[in-house]
Amino acid sequence: MGATSELELRHGNAFQVLEAYPENQFHAIITDPPYGVIEFETAQVEKMRDGVGGVWRIPPELDGSKRKPLPRFTVLSEPDKEKLRTFFKEFGEVAERVLRPGGHLFVATTQLLMHEVAMQLDEAGLERRDVLVRETKTLRGGDRPKNAHEEYDMVSSMPRVWWEPWLLYRKPFNGRLQDNLENWQTGGLRRESAERPFTDLLGNGKTPSQETAISKKAHPDSESPEAHPNLKPQKLMRELSHAALPLREGVILDPFMGSGSTVAAANALGYDAVGIEIDETFYEMATNAIPELTKVTTPIERRADVKEAVQGNLSDY
């Protein structure tokens, strides 16, 4: 697993917390932000936790298994979308300030809103590099017309979603990549091996039940624990963390930490990381879950340059 790394967790508004950091501080940002913004506002999160919906869809149980809630982005109004644009405009500006020249930004999003997010990151002066494809079968889409299932039984309102987009941006830099790597340790993406570069197809991205159980156990409410609704798998997050630091040195930032999957992935690879989370429950979940998620094994640890590292030490955590 990873060498000893330094982790810093902060509870608060990411934009306010990051004001205290100097320019050019972070080597990379890897984050799963609130896609539609309103779904993680306090009132909507409380509705999700109470199982009453709101902007969240609460799926029925399947074969006795309780399924996680999903945000319904099709219900966003124009004022909701304007709020989204304002949020990601500020996020883009903050990211451009705290990233080192050449630092990459990996942002999870959704097909319905990725263009809105991308326009704000473009406006902030970040350089669009690619859209990464995470293969993941979800419950979104594929539904028959509401209240007309039998009449239009061969019609779906939209496609069934089987992939998740991750926007890949980079803070611009002057001169040659080799010079930027020397001066800032950023600008490129680490290869998977000498034979194979990092690719934009991320493969099967389903979150294993073991990791969902860790997130659920980390919930501070022992009477009604729930896993984080957007928990990303360690295999995916370690793939991104490995690619994000081309020289295997630097600090990874996750300004919307959730239950800590990015920070745990960085820690498992021996990288320093800073995680920020505004929701108190999710922050406590991250504090509890990160040490356990770090222990999860994935194929990434079998890579030659990762196997050289020793087991991570959480004594400073």
68-97 pLDDT, tens digit each: 555 555 567 888 888 889 999 999 999 999
Q: Is the pTM of this model over 0.75?
A: yes
pLDDT value of position 56:
43
pLDDT value of position 2:
43
Give whole-number Cα distances, 237 to 141, 166, 202, in Å: 25, 12, 10
Beta carbons of 32 and 232 less than 8 angstroms apart: yes
Six-digit token string for 13: 């508004």
The domain locations on the chain are 7-307
Report the phi/psi class of residue 187: left, alpha or beta, with left for phi > 0 and alpha for psi in -120 to 50.
left
Report the percent of the chain where pLDDT is more than 70.
82
Q: Which residue has the higher pLDDT, 149 or 66?
A: 149
Residue closest to 3 by CA, chosen among 287, 218, 316: 316
Angle (nearest 5°) at CA 114 between 30 and 14: 40
Beta carbons of 221 and 235 less than 8 angstroms apart: no
Lowest-confidence range among 105-114, 134-143, 221-230, 300-309? 134-143
Residue closest to 190 by CA, chosen among 296, 271, 92, 98: 271
CATH superfamily placement of domain 7-307: Vaccinia Virus protein VP39 (3.40.50.150)
Both ends of the chain: CA-CA distance in Å? 16
Q: Do the bridges between strand 163-170 and strand 201-204 make them parallel or antiparallel, or are there none, so unpaired?
A: unpaired
Q: How far from chain centre, in Å, is Cα 139?
A: 19
- Report which residue type is found at 63: D
